[in-house]
Amino acid sequence: MTTTQPTPATTPSWVRRSITPCVTASCSSCGEPYADTYTGHAHHFASVDELTASLAALAADYDPPHTPPWVVQGAELLCWPCRMKRTCATQGHLWTFVEPVHLPSLRVTAPGHWWCTRTCGATSTSDPAIAVTPLELEAGL
């Protein structure tokens, strides 16, 4: 069993120290551990600097407009789902329509529906009011 020691004031709040000489990180919003995408095992680092370097290297692998799955925003470390939920909360959803699917052999028809392309989890079976986001207003769209 691993116990957690208090973090010093100079260490970001999303860093977790254990009795063993390593540090890990987790999402500031949901607590999801910063883990390997394929195995799901939490990343362990020898120091906060090594952890920060790993996050910087991850960010460097993505060219705009694509963003990495983990991002430090201000004093918080956010995983992809939490970042998308916050983006939709502040800027609104980006809706797209998914056509109905009919599978005659299974006698199944999935109705068409609307879903948010930011993958925040929002869906709607009725046509949502597509509001102009603050970014679109700034761009003059």
- The residue with greater pLDDT, 126 or 7, is 126
Reduced to 3 states (helix: H, G, I; strand: E, B; else coil), residue 57 is: helix
Taking residues 90-100, report their average pLDDT. Answer: 80
- Mean pLDDT over 23-33 rounds to 91
Give the count of beta carbons closer than 10 Å to the beta carbon of residue 69. Answer: 13
Does residue 79 carry a pLDDT above 80? yes
Contact indicator for 110, 100 with CB cutoff of 8 Å: yes
Which of 42, 28, 137, 133 lies closest to 83, judged by CA?
Answer: 28
pLDDT above 50: residue 92: yes
Contacts of 51 (CB under 8 A, 6+ apart): 15, 23, 24, 25, 34, 43, 45
More confident residue, 133 or 110: 110
- pLDDT tens for 30-57 read 999 998 878 888 888 988 899 999 999 9
What is the reported pTM?
Answer: 0.61
Which candidate, 124, 67, 68, 126, places its Cα nearest to that of 93?
A: 124
